[in-house]
Amino acid sequence: MSIAQTTEHPYQGSRKLLSGLRKIATSFAVILTTLFGLLVITFIVGRMVPADPVIAVIGDQADQATYDRVFTEMGLDRPLYVQFGHYLTDIAKLDFGQSHVTKNPVASDLARVFPATLELATLATLIGACFGVPLGVLAAVRKGTWVDHVARVVGLLGYSTPIFWLGTIVILVFYAKFGLIPAGGRIDIYNEGLVEGPTNSLLIDSLLAREWDVFWSAMHHVITPALILGYAAMAYLSRMSRSFMLEQLRQEYILTARAKGLGKWPIIWRHAFRNIRVQLLTVVALAYCGLLDGTVLIETVFAWPGLGQYLTSALFFADMNAVLGSVLLIGIISIAINLLSDIVYRFIDPRTR
Amino acid sequence: MFRRSFIMLSGVAALASTPPLAALAATPKDQLVVAITMSSMRGLDPHEINQLESAEVVANLYERLIVLPADKIAEPQPGLAESWTISPDGKTFTFKIRQGVKFHSGNALTAKDVEWSLRRLVKLGLAPSTDLRQWGFSADNVEKLIRATDDNTLVLETPEVWNANLILFSLASFSTSVLDSKFLADKDKGGDMGREFLQTADAGSGPYALRSWRANELLIAEAFKGYWQGEPKMRRVLLRHIPESAAQRLQIDNGDVDVAARLSSTDLGALEAGGKVDIQKTPGFGYYYLALNQKDEILSKPKVREAFRYLIDYDGLSATVMKYYGIKQQTIIPPGLPGAIDKNPYKLDIEKAKQLLAEAGYPNGFTKVYYATPVTPEYEVAQSLQANAAKAGIKLDLQGGDHIGKFRNRDFELFSARSGERLPDPHAILQSYATNANNTDEAKLTGLNAWRTAWDVPKEIQDMVTAAAHETDQSKRAELYAKINEAYLAASPALVTSFQRTDAKAVRKEVNGYLGHSTWLTRWDTVTKAQ
């Protein structure tokens, strides 16, 4: 190593600082551009939806005078770019407008529906990761044996079974036939209204309030949809883990480790698994993002009042404020999860620093 | 790490899977649980909403001057108005307001509240304001025409003479609900008369008070202890948003809900066969209709219009998809209303349709675009028509989607949908289907189906509709409506009616007194549950 490489230039510290700041600025610019692009595309697509937002509000029997009045009230008489401009200005003030369907501020609607989806998706991701990753690793280690075959069949079923159908069958068997699970919703009617706020996650709020009946009722309701979603996530994660692991097990350093006399499981967990952690983190983050915005089918089957249902209903009734607010939230969450994964990469893999 | 997570999650899953006993019991004896679809509910302001589910809620949070009982829908009964008189010239209605009625806030209800509420409906000018505006009330004249002369008397003058029932029926509609004007005085935001506040709150005197509403999730209403007719038997009413018909079916079958309000034909059939529920089919004042745009050269020919009447499989659909959703009805006035006649002369007859098409000059048929709403049962009815039309040589390019805007703007060829009116009187239907005072595009009478279809309704029919609305003699009026009914049937109308709308609900057998209401005013205070 040369001396020039080890001696720090007097300006190197500030250069590093500048470079760091530039990176942060670039990241911010990328995030803002992504969010802006997301809003532009959603806004344009929203305007192309054939549903008439005015009729969605006033009903189809209303006369022209009522139509014109509401059309103006909703600001639809202004040019598109003006409407979009107003929307951006409001967002800057953290005002997402009012939902034409629920009649609430979109922000308060999102504060209510998003925690419902968040607790469902988080639990499903945990279930998927905790079962899927070990299953994939095991299948790779026991490649070609019955364990591998079982893992692949389980994965294939999870991949190919429509969530909607699975949810309906589970309700039919475990609710209608055996009475073991509730049919849907977040909580039993007896416990309605006992716990309200501050997070709008019933699991967390009931724990904070030490309302154990409410907690168990909420857990009892969330576990079935979470298990079904978790199963789909598990199928994806086990396949990916198996594939990543197989690639690692073919590497020469594994042979070296074996030659050194290391045991089978230490080689697998301390060496091979360590090297697939970054890839795994990426797919887990992707699965989590997918669950946060893509649980609409399971939300419909289990009458789960989450973001997926809210967004779908808003799209159906051309409720543009609600659509844009939801899409923006999903965008922010996706970006946040990606940023978080980037940060975690740096901790678990020094090469990415 | 994995092992710990695995053990923890397995434990949580096992614990959670042990059901609390209460979760699977029947609904409590003093609570009514209704499964509905809330997706189309638009707030709870009685002077703004225009939709069935919201109307049922408003019907129980608020009260009106007149009551139309579910089983005597065309017989106005006293509500908040203890009694009323009508002046000899038929233009002045004087209502004596019931004393001792309290709002949920504790304020006493007076004629001033009624005056404020009816004026508010007209001044806001939103969709339900048609219920008063169609009789000549406007923001300019309402202060003069609707006034409280003292705390117990309200005087309402109509600019023209109308049949008294039309006015009384309007005063029974959810849109004319009476609001607590004192309570709302400090809820005004920029002159909105409490509109923003009332989207998610109530200011009524009805048997139930709103406790909470989470859109697309749950609405809880609690019995109002100070209700003037006595506290209702059901302590709480819970409306749960359950969008899936199959889920509603399972839950009512298991006893987790008492009433299921949005079920598919298949699920209704299965439940009816199961024997645990009664299926209520409530006839509504609307139709499943087919609109043929009269701006189209081919569709404007009377023989082509007539041919379409022979392409609908009335009997086949009645036995299948329409079993719970409609009643075969080819005339324009539904049974039970003045002028109704039991006459359904048309049936599916492909050969007759072909013959009519040939006589009209189209022996080889034609091709048209056909818009239909992609929901059950409208779409199945449309698919059936498409298949029959093909047999007669008409190729219909069926396109699902939300095309109501195009229908309103006359930008279509064929369109089918379902309508619903809220006055139990022929006039409500005829005004939309059989009047079109100005058929030009510029007139923009977009509230009328006849204008949307560009149908120049025969003048004699329009004149009779107007005369009947003003006729004060009930028997003469009934005669006029019978004539209109016959004339409409004979006119090969551009609006082809095939089925009268019915709203089907499943109600558990142990629930009594939950009665479907043709004008969307189902009451909860009459509900009891068998022990």
Tell me the pLDDT tens digit for each residue of B80-104. Answer: 999 999 999 999 999 999 999 999 9
Q: What Å distances lie between residue B434 and B287, B454, B529, CA to CA?
A: 14, 11, 44
Residue-wise pLDDT tens digits, B7-53: 444 444 444 444 443 344 578 889 999 999 888 788 899 999 888 89
Residue-wise pLDDT tens digits, B483-507: 999 999 999 999 999 999 999 999 9
Sequence spans of domains, chain B = 31-231+509-529, 284-503
Q: Which residues 49-108 in chain B show a CB within 8 A of chain A? A: 50-51
Q: Quote the pLDDT of residue B144.
A: 97
Residue-wise pLDDT tens digits, B391-409: 999 999 999 887 888 999 9
Do A276 and A326 sit in the same domain of this protein? yes
| Chain A residues near residue B9 by CB distance under 8 angstroms | 126-127, 130
Do A240 and A339 sit in the same domain of this protein? yes
| B490 vs A261 pLDDT, higher one | B490
C-alpha A233/C-alpha A215 separation (Å) is 25
Do A190 and A229 sit in the same domain of this protein? yes
Q: Which CATH architecture has domain B284-503?
A: Roll (3.10)
Q: How far is C-alpha B428 from the geometric centre of its chain's CA atoms? A: 12
pLDDT at B5 over 70: no
pLDDT at B1 over 60: no
Lowest-pLDDT choice from A87-101, A118-132, B363-377: A87-101
pLDDT, mean of residues B316-343: 93
pLDDT at B331 over 80: yes
Residue-wise pLDDT tens digits, A292-348: 876 788 888 888 989 988 988 888 777 888 888 898 888 888 888 888 888 888 777
Q: Cβ–Cβ of A183/B403 closer than 8 Å?
A: no
Q: Where are the alpha helices (DSSP H) in A51-162?
A: 53-58, 64-73, 80-92, 106-141, 146-160
Do A131 and A223 sit in the same domain of this protein? yes
Do A86 and A117 sit in the same domain of this protein? no
Residue A99: inside a domain, yes or no?
no
Q: Which chain A residue is nearest to residue B249, measuring alpha carbons?
A: A176
Residue A101: inside a domain, yes or no?
no
Across all residues in chain A, what is the average pLDDT? 85
Among the partner-chain residues A131, A184, A219, the one whose CB lies closest to the CB of B247 is A184
Domain closes at, from A92, A127, A155: A92
Q: A305, A184 in Cβ contact below 8 A?
A: no
Fold of domain B31-231+509-529: D-Maltodextrin-Binding Protein; domain 2 (3.40.190)
CATH at residue A233 = 1.10.3720.10
Look up the pTM and report it.
Answer: 0.83
Lowest-pLDDT choice from A49-53, B87-91, B268-272, B320-324: A49-53
Q: Cβ–Cβ of B16/A55 closer than 8 Å?
A: no
Q: Quote the pLDDT of residue A8.
A: 55
- State how many domains chain A has: 2
Question: Which residues span the domain enclosing A69?
Answer: 3-92
| Chain B residues near residue A216 by CB distance under 8 angstroms | 15-16, 20
How far B153 CA sits from the closest chain A CA (Å)?
31
Name the residue type at position B283.
P
pLDDT at B233 over 90: yes
Q: Cβ of B241 under 8 Å from any chain A Cβ? A: yes
Residue-wise pLDDT tens digits, B196-221: 899 989 999 999 999 999 888 899 99
pLDDT at A93 over 90: no
**Surface-to-core class of residue A108, CB atoms within 10 Å of its CB (0-12 exposed, 13-18 middle, 19+ buried):** middle
pLDDT at B130 over 50: yes
Q: Quote the pLDDT of residue A85.
A: 87
| Chain A residues near residue B19 by CB distance under 8 angstroms | 179-182, 220
Residue A302: inside a domain, yes or no?
yes
Global ipTM: 0.76
Q: Which chain B residue is nearest to residue A102, measuring alpha carbons?
A: B215
Residue A148: inside a domain, yes or no?
yes
Q: Cβ–Cβ of B42/A310 closer than 8 Å?
A: no
Q: Quote the pLDDT of residue B239.
A: 95
Q: Tell me the residue ranges of DSSP E strands in B298-439.
A: 326-328, 367-372, 395-400, 414-418
Do A181 and A277 sit in the same domain of this protein? yes
Q: Which chain A residue is nearest to residue B17, measuring alpha carbons?
A: A220
pLDDT at A353 over 80: no
Q: Quote the pLDDT of residue A352.
A: 65
- H/E element, A35: helix A12-48
C-alpha B143/C-alpha B378 separation (Å) is 43
pLDDT, mean of residues A189-210: 84
| Chain B residues near residue A65 by CB distance under 8 angstroms | 125
Q: B69, B77 in Cβ contact below 8 A?
A: yes
pLDDT at B154 over 90: yes
Q: Which chain A residue is nearest to residue B126, measuring alpha carbons?
A: A66
Q: Cβ–Cβ of B243/A300 closer than 8 Å?
A: yes
Q: Which chain A residue is nearest to residue B133, measuring alpha carbons?
A: A63
Residue A301: inside a domain, yes or no?
yes
How far B292 CA sits from the closest chain A CA (Å)?
18
Whether the CA torsion A17, A20, A26, A29 is positive or negative: it is negative
Q: How far is C-alpha B236 from the geometric centre of its chain's CA atoms? A: 25
Residue-wise pLDDT tens digits, A103-140: 888 999 999 999 999 999 999 999 999 999 999 999 99
Do A200 and A73 sit in the same domain of this protein? no
Residue A81: inside a domain, yes or no?
yes
| Chain A residues near residue B241 by CB distance under 8 angstroms | 303, 305
What are B207's two structure tokens? 């048997």
How far A23 CA sits from the closest chain B CA (Å)?
34
Residue-wise pLDDT tens digits, A278-298: 888 889 988 998 888 767 888
Interface mutation vs chain A, best among B34, B216, B369, most A CBs within 10 Å: B216
Residue A97: inside a domain, yes or no?
no
Q: Quote the pLDDT of residue B9.
A: 42
Do A20 and A130 sit in the same domain of this protein? no
Q: Which chain B residue is nearest to residue A174, measuring alpha carbons?
A: B17
Do A123 and A254 sit in the same domain of this protein? yes
- H/E element, B501: strand B495-508
Q: Cβ of B240 under 8 Å from any chain A Cβ? A: yes
| Chain B residues near residue A179 by CB distance under 8 angstroms | 19, 24, 254
pLDDT at B3 over 90: no
pLDDT, mean of residues A61-87: 85
How far B76 CA sits from the closest chain A CA (Å)?
25
Q: Cβ–Cβ of B216/A60 closer than 8 Å?
A: no
pLDDT at A71 over 80: yes
SS3 B522: coil
Q: Quote the pLDDT of residue B516.
A: 93
| A100 vs A288 pLDDT, higher one | A288
pLDDT at B166 over 90: yes
Do A73 and A130 sit in the same domain of this protein? no
Do A244 and A276 sit in the same domain of this protein? yes
Do A343 and A310 sit in the same domain of this protein? yes
- Find all residues with CB under 8 Å of B336, minimum gap 6, and list them: B73, B74, B283
Q: Cβ of B402 under 8 Å from any chain A Cβ? A: yes
